[in-house]
Amino acid sequence: MTSSMKKGIRLILLMTALFFAIGWLATTLLPGNFVPFMLNQQLKRQLAVAEKSSEILKDKESIRVYTVGTASPMPGERIQTGNAVIVNGHFFMFDVGDGIVQKAENMGLPLNRLDGIFITHWHSDHMMDLPSLISRSWLLGRTNDLHLYGPDGTDTINQAIDQFLHIENRHRVDHHGRETMDVSKARAIAHEFKNVQGGKEIIYQQDGIKITAFDVDHAPIEPAVGYAIEYKGKKVVISGDTKKNELVLEMAQNADLLLHEVILNSLLKQMEARLKEEGMIRNEKIIHDIQDYHTPPAEVAEIASRANVKRLVLHHFAPPPDFRIVKNLYKKELSEFDGEIHFANDGDEFVIK
């Protein structure tokens, strides 16, 4: 390197350092001068997000699936279970675990246009953010009715949410007025279905969209269901929490996308033994119990293969595949399915055209 090149590099580094120093001093000593610029940039970002959402909602051909949260209740950095589906101008959420609302908003999903929530079962990691989703979508400007679909318990849960949010809603109306805050939209309209145990039932059919709830095996948790979303010859199936189940196989036949839960029992058995050695009896018991009402990778692969699924998307990981060793253990047990496999991350988008 010549001396002139060295001088040039030093000059560039000096100018860069000077630029950052001036910027730091200006924003520290004169922050008010930058407020208009900051507000303008924030507004631009919000308008860009709103425009993108509007374009997605105008799509009359695709089914868009967003894995907003992909975790089971096991500790980790992932958000708990929740999936968004946008199809033919409708925005639906399937399950609403802890953290889903903030994540969905940060993803730019149009919560103010939400019109349906579908719950697979009443475990906390699938419904803990339900009151927040109902409230937040209203606070963000939702003016349409919001419908809540779920198995036995839906009416009871929805009534409890109404009571839980009553004071909050009253405060918003008192502060901003009824013209701004239409309190009639601050609640969900419950649609509880009771007759799918051992079978299936069409619970939504509108604008060419058909959604079928079907029974799954998450015993002793009853009822528990999965959902099939069909539109213009395309099909997405969400397994819900279940052990290997023939109705999942039936509903997933020739699906464009199967979103299936998965549990790595081969690893959890070792974890169970280690916990026992350490005398952590309660933790050992829980890890032991969860292994018999979820689906191991080999069985998920078998279902996807027999059903001729085009794309298999895994979520609700127990444990999450965030370490190379764990992910490779999953991959080894999924070898029976030779189709497209995705280990979903929080915030992933899948488009079925």
Q: Which residues contact 108 (CB under 8 A, 6 or more apart)?
A: 49, 52, 53
Per the structure block, which two tokens stand in for 52?
A: 């993108």
170-189 pLDDT tens trace: 999 999 999 999 999 999 99
Q: How far apart are CA 229 and CA 63, in angstroms?
A: 9
How is residue 22 written in tokens? Answer: 């001036």
Per-residue tokens: 199:
């079978």
- Between CA 299 and CA 314 the distance in angstroms is 12
pTM of the model: 0.92
More confident residue, 335 or 48: 335
Is pLDDT of 119 > 90? yes
Six token digits for residue 81:
């279970």
For the stretch 279-325, pLDDT in tens is 999 999 999 999 999 999 999 999 999 999 999 999 999 999 999 99
CA 173 to chain centre: 30
Region 112-123: mean pLDDT is 97
Q: Residues 70, 351: contact at Cβ < 8 Å?
A: no
List the structure tokens of 291: 């292994």
Q: What per-residue confidence (pLDDT) applies to 106?
A: 95
pLDDT band at 164 (very low <50, low <70, confident <90, very high): very high
CA 81 vs CA 21, 67, 120, 245: distances in Å: 44, 8, 11, 20
So what's the pLDDT on residue 1? 63
Taking only the tens place, the pLDDT of each residue in 205-235 is: 999 999 999 999 999 999 999 999 999 999 9
Q: What is the pLDDT of residues 27-85, one digit of tens each?
A: 788 788 877 888 888 888 888 888 888 889 999 999 999 999 999 999 899 999 999 99
Give the span between the Cα atoms of 252 and 236, in whole angstroms.
8
Q: 44 by DSSP, 3-state: which? A: helix
Residue 75 CB coordination number (10 Å): 9
Each residue's pLDDT tens digit, 243-274:
999 999 999 999 999 999 999 999 999 999 99
Is 9's pLDDT higher than 90?
no
pLDDT at 340: 96
